[in-house]
Amino acid sequence: MRTPAIALVAAVSLFAFCTRASGQEYATPAPRTTDLRRLHALAIARAVHAYFTRGIADEQRGAWDDAARSFEAVLALHPPEPQNSTARYDLAIAYAGLRRYDDAASQLRAALRADPGFLAAWANLAAIDLRRGDLAEARDAARRLLALAPSSARGLYERGLIALQDGDLRAARTAFSTLAGSNPRYALAHYDLAVVLARSGDLAQAEREFRLALALAPRYARASLGLGVVLVREGRLADARAAFAAAAAESADDPVLHVLALSLERELEPPPAP
C-alpha cells in the first residue's frame, strides 16, 4: 500500500520539477503602479511600441500610406530619443515610397538634428537628395557619412554618383577608384569608374574598367554599350559592333537601351559586298 503512494508522490514531484507554469505573455510588462503620471508614460510607451510595430510591417509590404500614418502617430506622441529620430527616419522611408522626396528629406534632417551620428540617416538623405536633385545637400550628407565611417562602401558609391552628376570628374574618379580598390569584385565600381574615365577622355583605362565590369557581370548591358562607345572612339569598329550586339542581347528588359544598342549595331554593319 505504501509503495504506490510513494511512487505517486515521486511522479508528481518529477512532473512539477520538469514542467513550468505557462501564462499569458505580453510584449511589454504589465504596469505595476497606481501613479497617474507613471501610468500615462506607460500608456504612451505601449502606443509607441504598437505604432512602430505596425508601421514597420506596413513598410515591409510596401503599404506606404499606412506606414506614414503610423510613424506620424508616433511623432504626435512626442517620444524621447532614440524613438523620435528613429520614427522620423522610418517616416522618411514611407514618404520616399510615396515619392514625397522633399518631405522625406525634411524628416531625415530633423532626425539628424536629434542624432548627428545616425549613419543610416546620412546615407538615406544622400540617396534621396540624389533623386530630388539637391546635389549640394547630397554632397554634404555623403561627406558626413564618410567622416563618420571612412570605409563605408555606400558613402563612396553615393559620393561618386553625386560628383558625376555634378560634373566633378576628379572627385568621382577618386570615389570610384577607392570603392573599386576596397571592392575589386564589385562590377558597378568598375562600371562607374569607366564612365568617369570615358568622359575624361582616358579611353584605354575606360576600356579596361568596362571589361573588368563585364568580367564580373557579363549580362550588364550598360557596360557592353559603354565598351562599344569607347571602342568606336578607338577606331575598333568590329569589336564595337560585337559590344553593341551584346548590349542589345542583354537589354530585353530595358527597351530604351535595347533600341539604342540595336541602332548602333546596325550602323556598324559592314557594307554589302559589290
Partner 1 sequence: MPVTMRRFGDLALAAALLLGLLGVGVAGTHLQRELAAAATALVPSRPPDLLGPITEAGRSGWQCVPEAQAAARSWRDAALPDPEH
What residues between 155 and 174 interact with partner 1 by CB under 8 A?
Answer: 155, 157-158, 160-161, 164-165
Which CB, 18 or 78, lies closer to partner 1? Answer: 78
* List 54, 68, 75, 86, residue binding partner 1 (CB under 8 A): 86
Contact between 178 and partner 1 by CB under 8 A: the answer reads no
Contact between 81 and partner 1 by CB under 8 A: the answer reads yes
Contact between 200 and partner 1 by CB under 8 A: the answer reads no
Residues 98-127 that bind partner 1 (CB under 8 A): 115, 118-120, 122-124, 127
What is the spatial distance between Cα 75 and Cα 85, in angstroms, rounded to a whole number? Answer: 9
Contact between 139 and partner 1 by CB under 8 A: the answer reads no
Strand ranges (E), 88-246: none
* List 128, 142, 245, 248, residue binding partner 1 (CB under 8 A): 128
Contact between 246 and partner 1 by CB under 8 A: the answer reads no
What is the spatial distance between Cα 153 and Cα 7, in angstroms, rounded to a whole number? Answer: 67
Helix boundaries (H) for the chain? 2-18, 36-60, 64-76, 83-97, 101-114, 119-132, 135-148, 153-166, 169-182, 187-200, 203-216, 221-233, 237-249, 255-267
Contact between 49 and partner 1 by CB under 8 A: the answer reads yes
Which CB, 25 or 81, lies closer to partner 1? Answer: 81
Minimum distance from residue 177 beta carbon to partner 1 (Å): 14
Q: Quote the Cα angle for 122-127-131, to 5°.
A: 140
Minimum distance from residue 36 beta carbon to partner 1 (Å): 24
What is the spatial distance between Cα 125 and Cα 102, in angstroms, rounded to a whole number? Answer: 10
Which CB, 3 or 139, lies closer to partner 1? Answer: 139
* List 68, 105, 110, 130, residue binding partner 1 (CB under 8 A): 130
Cell for 224? 557592353
What is the spatial distance between Cα 154 and Cα 141, in angstroms, rounded to a whole number? Answer: 12
* List 191, 207, 245, 248, residue binding partner 1 (CB under 8 A): 191
* List 134, 186, 246, 248, residue binding partner 1 (CB under 8 A): 186
Are the C-beta atoms of residues 174 and 196 closer than 8 Å to each other?
no
What is the spatial distance between Cα 103 and Cα 111, in angstroms, rounded to a whole number? Answer: 12
